[in-house]
Structure 1
Amino acid sequence: MKIIVIIPAFNEAKSIDKVIAEIPKDIVGEVVVVNNNSSDETSKVARQAGATVLDEPRQGYGFACLKGIDYAKKQKPEIVVFLDADYSDYPEEMRELIKPITEDGYDMVIGSRALGERQAGSMTIPQIFGNWLATNLMRLFYGVHYTDLGPFRAIKFESLLALNMQDTTYGWTVEMQLKAAKMKMKTTEMAVNYRRRVGKSKISGTIKGTILAGYKIITTIFKYL
């Protein structure tokens, strides 16, 4: 199956080449790095590592993902994998992440850090609590069982397009999961391992980022009721 990997990246020059190097190229047709208004050499490093680089000057995780989706429409992949650029995930686990789609017909697979092994310090206490709260609210209001809002995920491209994603910032992952639940898509989770990222997080690494992300996630949950 034709697979494209989309990696939103904001000032990740120190890690993006490591991420790209560990993506299993024998199953992935193209790696797309969306440079989200970086002020460092993220674009240069990503190109040198063999990725297709797109520029999205509008700041926001969702903006970057939407840019990648627009590009993917021209390539017509069967599966899209979303992966962070900070080297906190293990890209080689992609082989297992896509199996429920390729072998069992699932629409979407969420890589769950809650089910996998987390390196000490890889997630902050607000992150852990936020994931717990968000997933429990989704279970309460939408009747769907998730354990994480992990960004490492795979989805059939036709299913992704059907979701008509709109969020441009922090609510991207929860919007995808909620819409999939409302549309009765066949989804599952897979345990993935997680390590301390390279560099400092622009979201969980700051008080402002943590508060804004938490607010957006909670409001997104109620938005689609």
Structure 2
Amino acid sequence: MYSENKKPAIYVIIPAFNESKSIGKVISDIPDLVNETIVVNNASTDNTETIAKEQGATVLKEHRKGYGYSCLKGIDYLQTKANPNDIIVFLDGDYSDFPDEISMLIAPILESDFDMVIGSRALGVREPGSMLFQQIAGNWLATALIKLFYNAHFTDLGPFRAIQWSALQQIEMKDKTFGWTVEMQVKAAKHKLKFTEVPVNYRQRIGVSKVSGTIYGTIMAGYKIILTIFKNI
């Protein structure tokens, strides 16, 4: 448990590709306990960057398309800022997650010395239609394989998650695209990090998903997730 005089900084990293209709809502709902909100503009062709800046976020540019590329850009930005006990929260920019649940998400790190916390949509309340069949089935298969090969129990690969900076440095994230979330979880298991899940609520995103909203995205995401699980064994 952290003492008051060593209170960690909280940083939020938001990968964003063409999220002009939602990014303002996401940023405005982030609680005051967050020290800095970092939006990584991932080659957007709309006003995502302008709106994020107007809302007070730090905006970085990543021209290479890919969820992992965006997250790695945010991590690179924090290399000279973050301290070992600081907490990094990853949050999508489509307003499907509830940013005001950040305090609940980071509580196990602050209060029980966990290294990583996954926000589980499977354990929380999902708005009807917020997750497509292929997402639910894919999560079930991926978490079953992680249990089988890594003896680590997860119920979701949800993008809403928190991790201590020292732990994030330890697992050395590499994935550039669809395998980002599962890579973090299997590496956490391999490095024997202390992790847990908390229920988070989930609603229909604003706009169309770049992954599950297309046949190509669904196939490529599924392939990359399974490949990532096996290659890290």
| Count of residue correspondences | 224
Alignment of 1:70-219 (within 5 A): 70-77=76-83, 78-219=86-227
For each residue in 1:169-189, what CA deviation from the matched residue of structure 2 results, as whole angstroms up to 9, or x when unmatched? Answer: 000000000000000000000
Asked if 1:41 is matched to 2:47, the reply is yes
Whole-Å separation in 2 of the counterparts to 1:75 and 1:202: 31
Asked if 1:14 is matched to 2:25, the reply is no
Aligned-pair RMSD on alpha carbons?
A: 0.5
For each residue in 1:104-163, what CA deviation from the matched residue of structure 2 results, as whole angstroms up to 9, or x when unmatched? Answer: 000000000000000000000000000000000000111000000000000000100111
Aligned to 2:38: 32
Paired amino acid for 1:70:
D
Paired amino acid for 2:115:
D
Structure 1 unmatched runs, 5+: none
Query: 3-state DSSP class of the match of 2:79?
Result: helix
Structure 2 counterpart of 1:4, from 11, 21, 28: 11
Whole-Å separation in 1 of the counterparts to 2:171 and 2:16: 23
Structure 2 unmatched runs, 5+: 1-7
Whole-Å separation in 1 of the counterparts to 2:11 and 2:152: 27
Paired amino acid for 1:204:
S
Regions of 4+ moved over 3 Å: none
Shift of 1:74: 1.8
TM-score normalised over the length of structure 2: 0.95
TM-score normalised over the length of structure 1: 0.99
Whole-Å separation in 1 of the counterparts to 2:108 and 2:186: 19
